[in-house]
Amino acid sequence: MKIKLSKPNLKIPKIYIYGIDVIKNLGFFTLYIIITLLSIAFIIAPAIKHFKKNQKQYYNIKTQYLNVKNNYENVLESLNKLKKENAKIIAAFRRDFDVKNFKMFASKFMEIKEIKKDKTKPFKKDFIKTVYFIKATINSPKDFYDFIDAIKKYKNIIRVYFPIDFTKKDKKINLTLKIEHYRLKDKKALKAEEKAH
């Protein structure tokens, strides 16, 4: 005996409102929502996360950059100010000793008979000092004091150093003293100085 089973009706019923298939449109709407949600979850959200991370990093770095730049500008400004204030000293440390010019400068205070160059030595890390022995004649000790006072304004950095010898001769005083000229160490200049001795 054969039992006939009726086939189940799997067909989606069609509901039309004003000629629109409601079920199909509802299906497409659901599909649209699913695609949108999936896109947000797997495409847009990671992109926003990545973007936000990079944006935050950028602004952090930019703040850091502005701080560093500000600091740099402050240091540069203070350096320029310092250079301006000490321009005379900076320039003086870069000048070579000019015997003729020194004689001319000292002639206001003494009559220089002889300037003898001695040795050049390194001084501290970046400087050199050259020793000169001077034989001169002065009218009174005041000339010597004035000479020392005037050295402050001279274009080179000069130190008056011992031994100093005062010998009275007639109405004048014979003076022997040592001076040290300080300047920046310039490798070429130092080699030239060393060769000269």
Partner 1 sequence: MKAYSFIKPKKKPIFKEDTKLWLIFITFSLILYIFFALFLALKAYFFKQDSQKLLKEIEKLKKQTTELTLQKEFIYTQKAIYEDIMIKNALVKQQIKNLLDLIPDPITLEKFYIDNDKLIIYGITPTKDIYNLLMLPPLESIFEKTTTYFYKLPNGWYKFKSENYIKSEDENQTK
Give the interface with partner 1 as residue ranges (CB under 8 A): 20-21, 24-25, 28, 31-32, 35-36, 39-40, 43-44, 46-48, 50-51, 53-55, 57-58, 61-62, 64-65, 68-69, 71-72, 75-76, 78-79, 82-83, 86, 89-90, 92-93, 123-124, 126-127, 141, 144-145, 148-149, 151-152, 157-168, 182
Please check whether residue 177 is in contact with residue 134, taking contact to mean a CB–CB distance below 8 angstroms. yes
Residue 194 CA: distances (Å) to CA of 11, 119, 152: 109, 8, 28
Q: Smallest distance from the beta carbon of 78 to partner 1, in angstroms?
A: 7
Place of tokens 């206001």: 108
108-to-105, 142, 147, 158, 165 alpha-carbon distances in Å: 6, 12, 8, 17, 20
- Cα separation, 165 vs 188, whole angstroms: 35
Kindly tell me which of 69 and 119 has the beta carbon lying closer to partner 1.
Answer: 69
Q: In the complex, what is the shortest distance from the CB of residue 81 to partner 1, in angstroms, rounded to a whole number? A: 10
43 vs 192, beta carbon nearer partner 1:
43
